[in-house]
Amino acid sequence: MIKVRWSVVLAAIGVGAGVARSGAAQQDTAALRDSQPSVAERLEQLDQKVRILARLLELKQDSVAAVAKQQPRVAAGKEGFLIKSADGAYQLKFRAYIQADGRFFPSEAPAAFGFSTLGLRRARPVLDATLWKYFTLRLTPDFGQGRVVLFDAYLDFRPVAQLGLRAGKTKPPIGLERLQSATDLRFVERGLPTNLVPNRDVGLQAVGDLVGGHLSYAVGVFNGVPDLGNGDFDVTNDKDFEARVFAKVGGLGLGIAASTGVEHGTVVASALPIYVTPAQQPMFRYRDSTIANGRRIRFAPQAYWYGGSIGVLGEYYVSEQDVTRATSGSRLTSRGWQVAASWFVTGEKASFTTVSPRHPFDPKKKSWGALEVGARYGELHPDEDAFPTFAVVTNSVTSAKAWGTGITWHLAPAVRFTVNYEWTHFAGGAPTGNRPTENFFVVRIQQAF
């Protein structure tokens, strides 16, 4: 009985304890449930976190964009490599071009008139630096032909398009083809009349574009280099005044340029030119002790027309120079002209400046670039009165007439493969009469950026 009672008591205690534990657990669970966020609350919290993260990302992107606007820009493209301040007031642009030639003379002409050669015609880095938005500095040395020559070193101040100042060494504003960039020439070498205009000179000129860019002008004072000259200093106090106006309407450009000055050479520095053939071989030079001694005048009407795929360029230049030799003196007038035409067989739009192929060279896309063909005719006539007092017909020609043809394969903008053939006939210039015809075959590979 006692056993039974004890067992009943124990059972009752056990049941009671179990019930008590169960009740407490239920209370704990309820309390825990109350203290925990509901599913809806947790979803709300998660939603807020997602929204906050999205907004923070949005603000971060805004901040990055705002900071980017303040950062200098670095860019690389067909116009070179560029570092530019955020406000555009400072800029450094680096470009360069190389022209590698194979030059051949397939006729039986004496080697003295030119050796076949492979060589670098031009190797020029071009550095443009803009300071304070309106001031631009250009530096262009040339490492071609085994020498170092500074071609361009000038400062531009251009507060408005209508008026700017350019000071330093640059192309004088005379010759049309001379003013065309060497990377954009339709033929490997410039034509015969370019002999009569200066190449590079140091001076100060005012430049500007009027009538919405349809009329450009340049007027300046320069040291006054001889025809085809490239100089850094003057050796006399004499200066040349030069001016050019050029009007453009559609593809038609018409202009006129002129220069005047007084030059006095010396026996050591005659201030007189040497004219060259299309192959850059000397063909006219003044006799020793002939010097510039007085007025020099140049007159240079010029024009181009670009319509569709066709381009035509023409120039007629006159260069007058007072010269003396011993007691003899005379004003000599040299004349030269040329007409050059070109046609893009592949339909690109012809231009005085760089032409971009519609389909740049990319074999993977079966894209082969652009093909351009061209022809030109030009003449150069040194003054007949130069002979025999100031020049000798046995080593200087009295005239040169040149035909040229060419094919240019434009692989990309300013990347080209050009083949030219040029026939130049001379009057005089050789001990036995006429200098032999110059047959000039040239292949050029040009890479520019």
What are the residues binding other proteins (CB under 8 A)? 48, 51-52, 54-56, 59, 62-63
Side chain identity at 42, as an amino acid letter?
R
CA 373 remoteness from chain centre: 22
Q: What is the DSSP string of 317-338?
A: EEEEEEEEETTEEEEEEEEEEE
The residue written with tokens 């030219």 in the block is 420
Q: How far is the CB of 56 from other proteins (least distance, A)?
A: 6
Cβ-based nearer residue to other proteins, 9 or 56: 56
Contact, 213 vs 249, CB < 8 A? no
What residues have CB less than 8 Å from 357, skipping those under 6 apart?
Answer: 346, 348, 369, 370, 410, 411, 412, 413
**Long-range interactions of 432-437: CB distance < 8 A, separation 24+:** 434/397, 435/113, 435/283, 435/397, 436/107, 436/108, 436/109, 436/110, 436/113, 437/107, 437/109
Do the bridges between strand 117-131 and strand 135-142 make them parallel or antiparallel, or are there none, so unpaired?
Answer: antiparallel
Cβ-based nearer residue to other proteins, 15 or 43: 43
Cβ-based nearer residue to other proteins, 89 or 204: 89
Q: How far is the CB of 84 from other proteins (least distance, A)?
A: 18
Q: How far is the CB of 54 from other proteins (least distance, A)?
A: 7
Cβ-based nearer residue to other proteins, 11 or 57: 57
Cβ-based nearer residue to other proteins, 19 or 89: 89
Cβ-based nearer residue to other proteins, 63 or 328: 63
Q: How far is the CB of 52 from other proteins (least distance, A)?
A: 5
Q: How far is the CB of 131 from other proteins (least distance, A)?
A: 17
Q: How far is the CB of 55 from other proteins (least distance, A)?
A: 5
Radius of gyration of the chain from its Cα atoms, rounded to whole angstroms: 39
